[in-house]
Amino acid sequence: MHGEYKVPGGKLVVVDFEVDEGKIVDFRLSGDFFLEPDEALLDINAAVEGMNPNSTIEDFANAIRQALPSEVHLLGFTPDSVGVAIRRGVTGAAHWRDYDWQIVREPAVTPMLNAALDEVLTAAVGEGLRGPTLRIWEWNEPAVIIGSFQSVKNEVDEEAAAEHNATLVRRISGGGAMYMEPEASITYALYIPGELVRGMSFADSYAYLDDWVLEALKSLGIDAVYKPLNDITSPLGKIGGAAQKRLGSGAILHHVTMAYDMDPTAMTSVLRIGREKLSDKGTASAQKRVDPLKSQTGKTREEIVERMIEVFQRRHGGVMGEVTEGEWDAAERLVEQKFSTEEWLRRVP
């Protein structure tokens, strides 16, 4: 068996092994990581040898930690990442380059249609009607987009939203509320089969799916890092946040919104951001929580999006594609039947 795991912000971990009578045998760890002393590699191999291949990531990591000498340095990987690589090998996880990716960037549409399109394209991947896809959102009006389980009255000042002509949209993924204006945010969505993150914990999958974005931001001079569970941040402040929805078919929607040039006054007037949440983020005011990409890079929104696509293609491949007529029709029907209805919008009043 063969398993690979690219540690977000770190190195590639590769494992090769066989399974004989319910035990791991001939285990070999390799990769482009750094490890001192050299002999610790043999300690890791010996720790995993003979373990049950169905052990958890934590079980593998604990066995490795116990086997390592007290003076050891692991750079670019951890015992947990070895466990992830093993689980990916056992479960037959796929890799980014196993797929023919499409990259989609359509003309601007309403935020509600964008949200519906996320559901339609994720379902299409799950049904085998579309290959894995990266889509850049473009929208033509302001919106307040809330998570699937959020309360409207607790999160949104609807009078202030109306003053800013912002449409209320409830997405199918969890997570927090966002105030979005055209050209002031960058939102992208990945529609993927579950095999791409098989063997990972839910938390690990977030950072794994956004690692290419961190590379793109770093190439623009931003010291971007991932802060669990779902934040992309920098020393100057939070940049954006991710959310996921996993369908019964196994397909996964993973989407991210990053601040490009947000209006903090408008954001804090439209969103009811409680003091408890601000305290949890370690900030004194909501206006300091999000630091736009424009101020950190001096680049236009278009330049940043182009860099993102360039890095994605270099790392994972992909050709420019489009949303099909049938997918547009399905999304429009979904807006009418679900996303625009009071039943959906106020499922949590």
* Cα dihedral across residues 175, 176, 177, 178: positive or negative: negative
Confidence of residue 290 (pLDDT cuts 50, 70, 90): confident
Confidence of residue 274 (pLDDT cuts 50, 70, 90): very low
Return the biggest CA–CA distance within the chain. Answer: 67
What distance in Å separates the CA atoms of residue 83 and residue 60, rounded to the nearest whole number?
5
Answer for the pair 178, 150: CB distance below 8 angstroms, yes or no.
Answer: no
Answer for the pair 174, 68: CB distance below 8 angstroms, yes or no.
Answer: no
Position 291 scores a pLDDT of 81
**In this structure, how many other beta carbons lie within 10 angstroms of the beta carbon of residue 154?**
12
Position 282 scores a pLDDT of 46
Amino acid at 323: V
Quick one: average pLDDT of 224-245?
A: 93
Position 19 scores a pLDDT of 97
| Token pair in block for residue 83 | 């466990």
Position 273 scores a pLDDT of 74
Residue with tokens 């959906």, as numbered in its chain: 344
Taking CA atoms, 203 is separated from 8, 98, 150, 228, in Å, by 12, 23, 20, 7
With 90 as the cut, is the pLDDT of residue 287 above it? no
Amino acid at 59: D
| Token pair in block for residue 349 | 């009043």
Q: Is the peptide bond before 196 cis (omega within 30 degrees of 0)?
A: no
With 70 as the cut, is the pLDDT of residue 285 above it? no
266 or 23: which leads in pLDDT: 23
The DSSP line for 111-135 is: HHHHHHHHHHHHHHHHTTSS--EEE
DSSP 292: -
| Token pair in block for residue 341 | 């209805």
Give the up-direction half-sphere exposure of residue 32: CA atoms within 13 A in the CB hemisphere: 8
Amino acid at 146: I
| Token pair in block for residue 213 | 């974005």
Residue 160's Cα: distance from chain center in Å?
30
Answer for the pair 297, 305: CB distance below 8 angstroms, yes or no.
Answer: no
Name which of 8, 37, 6 is nearest 229 in CA terms: 8
Confidence of residue 289 (pLDDT cuts 50, 70, 90): low
Position 89 scores a pLDDT of 96
With 80 as the cut, is the pLDDT of residue 83 above it? yes
| Kind plus residue range of the DSSP H or E element containing 334 | helix 325-334
Residue with tokens 């690990």, as numbered in its chain: 204
Q: Hey, which residues does 75 pair with through a beta bridge?
A: 34
What distance in Å separates the CA atoms of residue 230 and residue 260, rounded to the nearest whole number?
18
The 10s digit of each residue's pLDDT in 199-229 is: 998 889 999 999 999 999 999 999 999 999 8
Position 101 scores a pLDDT of 98
Three-state secondary structure readout of 152-205: HHHHECHHHHHHCCCEEEECCCCCCCEEECCCCEEEEEEEECHHHHCCCCHHHH
First to last CA, the chain: 50
Quick one: average pLDDT of 52-76?
A: 96
Position 265 scores a pLDDT of 85
